[in-house]
Structure 1
Amino acid sequence: MENQQHVSSSGKYKLFVAAVFLQVGYAGMDILAKAALNQGMSNYALVVYRHAIATVVMAPFAAFFDKKVRPKMTLSIFIKIILLGLLEPVIDQNLYYLGMKYTTATFATAMYNILPAITFVIAWILRLEEVNFRSIRSHGKVIGTLATVAGAMVMTLMKGPVLELFWTTGRINHEAAEKNGTDLHDSIKGGVMITIGCFSYACFVILQAITLETYPADLSLTVWICLVGTLEGTIAALVMEKQNVAIWAIKWDTKLLTAAYSGIVCSGLSYYIQGMIMKQRGPVFVTAFSPLCMVIVAIMSSFILAEQMFLGRVIGATIIIGGLYLVLWGKSKDYKSPPSPLIDGQTIEAVDNKDEDMFDV
């Protein structure tokens, strides 16, 4: 019985490790993307190259590993895939990169912390998320959701004094400093773009969870999303950039590294891993870990890009993290492991959770 408890516990840890891995991957992408955009790379071209690379890399794995589990493609599933390709690869990523141009990598990542709140609300409306107002844990979910929104507003509207960090002394990135010092109009413009991108990504995560119920081939779905996203992203690039063919020029530099890294890690592996996590814990669990990305980006940006850190953003980030961990605490009993052997007529989980249930009112 102890061995079975250990297996169940290790399975939970694997989900946490996978969720943390996603955020580490996103943090690396934010740093590289900011550097590539600063060098003049078009966000539209970046989106196209990113998903083209992801399609090429992931397709062989999908062809081999999913051949026995891949269901028949139907019109309903294909329409969902088209929407998935539009919501995240095209709308979300382009708006996110545009918002980053108006602000900084740290600010863009911090604003993205409203993603769990938006996902929570949509999942609640669609009854994919359990909310019982007589339960203390449900109160934690709701209060935590409101706190993330409040924290995001503080980060957008409140600047405060610069925090002097010893590793940035004498090497402040003047371009980043100018972005940090821009007027409120630019901050709000970038914030609005990122917020709309968050809403689009939340819809993507919800729709991906729904699609996996009828098309459970994770790798194949990932390839389809990347392929459709490449095609739709190309159309968007041609429309927005018109006759500017120079945007497609790419060399062996940071731009190519950014496209390759973000394509393989943040599109190919990310869509696949988050799909696997959602099968067990749902879409809100996946997005609840986004504050880790902000922390990692803030540290890496100050070291690599020499970006300034402001007190207002630290306060807002603290509020966001507190709210998100309230949501995570509230969700901790929503998804339980498979039943273990009976102990005096009760499962191991039932015995372990007796005390937790006493807190529900």
Structure 2
Amino acid sequence: MEGCTHYLAMVLVQLIYGGSDVLIKLSLQDGLNPIVFVVYRHVLAMVLIGPFAYVLERKQRPSFSISAAANIFLLALLGPTIFVNVYCAGLTYTSATVASALSNVIPPLTFLTAVLLGMEKLKIRSARGQAKVAGTIFCIGGSLIFTFWKGGYLLKGVEKTLINVHNAEEYGKIKHVQENWIKGSALLLMSYTAWSAWLILQAAVSKVYPAPLSLTTLMCFFASLQSSFLALFFARNPSSWRLEWNLQLLTIVYFGVLTTALVYYLQAWCISHKGPVFAAMFSPLQAIIVAVFSAIAFAERLHFGSLIGALLIIVGLYCVLWGKRKDTLVAEHGEIEKVTLDDIKVLEISMNDISVVNPVTREET
């Protein structure tokens, strides 16, 4: 069971992201200010996770140096600040379908960057290397088929929607201006590039600051400051900061508790053990989760293309994880061989240094 913990954690992360995708679309339509949303969610997450970080990682937490502060500040800038704000801005100019399709750049971009930086080993002539490349292609292709292939109906959701919201028919389609689709797509690509860089940097920072709870708390703190600074220019209206018992408050609480506090911690923990590519390859699962939720809650229909795309995503994910598992086994085998050879050398040196005394002549041999 211990070997499955990282896999279960990343599946849970995608389940939470699936719910957050639904809430943020509805809340943006309801008038939620993205910058205010980023500030509130990270302040809430910091307040929740901070005490646990202080108590549980007192001995594990390294000293907070200027270098560590700069790295965590950059980490907060790439992920919570740039990604979320630019992503929300992109959604205002294009549709959620385009956003879902463009999100497929995250796994290959992360994979390619990790290979170029030497963080991910790729031996293209080996079976495990070919499995990782093929799996990445399968995930991308499956996500595109899942998004764009609207073939004959195969499954149908519930007859009556379980969740009723105003403009429910607009679910999954943030109001946008047709002429600005290029601008929206460019913003979305910028946000996904920032997220990919965040995954890569997260792996590097986790090595020098191996305290995931404290790292998450500090990242939320810096993200709150950064977005508060942006709010001075783009969210001056006091009414946008007013909280009421509505969908917007539910979204802020959901993101603060689950999508920020819990997910950031789980991702930091998994990346520190498995690397950034491992975390990125689970991203295509989110499209499947959102589609299933939409079929159940909003009575949306699942197409035949959805089933084919989901199957390809699962096969691709399995191929990549199989390849990474083989990498781990090869690395562990190499470490065992290295330790064995070192032990043999030590034993040989020790035997050469041993002096044996002849009991008859009393001379050393």
Tell me which interval the TM-score lies in, with the shorter structure as reference length.
0.7 to 0.9
Matched, 1:280 2:273: yes
| 3-state SS in 1 of match to 2:284 | helix
Matched, 1:71 2:39: no
Q: Report how far residue 160 of structure 1 moved.
A: 4.2
Q: Residue type matched to 1:88 in 2? A: G
Q: What is the aligned partner in structure 2 of residue 143 from structure 1?
A: 134
Q: Report how far residue 111 of structure 1 moved.
A: 3.8
C-alpha distance in structure 2 between counterparts of 1:117 and 1:181, whole Å: 29
- Structure 2 alignment gaps of length 5 or more: 162-166, 341-365
Matched, 1:49 2:44: no
Select between 97-106 and 115-124 the one with higher mean Cα deviation: 97-106
Normalised by the length of structure 2, the TM-score is 0.79
C-alpha distance in structure 2 between counterparts of 1:305 and 1:127, whole Å: 44
Q: Rg larger in 1 or in 2?
A: 2
Normalised by the length of structure 1, the TM-score is 0.79
Alignment of 1:45-194 (within 5 A): 45-102=36-93, 108-109=99-100, 111-150=102-141, 158=148, 160=150, 163=153, 166-167=156-157, 173-176=168-171, 179=173, 189-194=183-188
CA separation of 1:168 and 1:100: change in aligned 2, threshold 3 A: farther
Instruction: Choose the corresponding residue for 1:260, options 227, 240, 253.
Output: 253
Equivalent residue pairs, number: 330
Q: Report how far residue 238 of structure 1 moved.
A: 2.7
CA separation of 1:250 and 1:14: change in aligned 2, threshold 3 A: same
Q: Deviations over 1:275-333 (max 9, x none)?
A: 22122211111121122222111111233345565666766665555444332232221
| 3-state SS in 1 of match to 2:327 | coil
Matched, 1:222 2:200: no
8 Å contact kept, 1:50–1:262? yes
Cα RMSD between the aligned structures? 3.2
| 3-state SS in 1 of match to 2:59 | coil
Q: Residue type matched to 1:335 in 2? A: T
CA separation of 1:61 and 1:140: change in aligned 2, threshold 3 A: same
Instruction: Choose the corresponding residue for 2:287, options 294, 297, 303.
Output: 294
CA separation of 1:15 and 1:154: change in aligned 2, threshold 3 A: closer
Q: What is the aligned partner in structure 1 of residue 345 from structure 2?
A: none
C-alpha distance in structure 2 between counterparts of 1:125 and 1:160, whole Å: 37
CA separation of 1:155 and 1:180: change in aligned 2, threshold 3 A: farther
Q: What is the aligned partner in structure 2 of residue 357 from structure 1?
A: none
- Structure 1 alignment gaps of length 5 or more: 1-9, 347-361
C-alpha distance in structure 1 between counterparts of 2:121 and 2:262, whole Å: 28
8 Å contact kept, 2:92–2:176? no
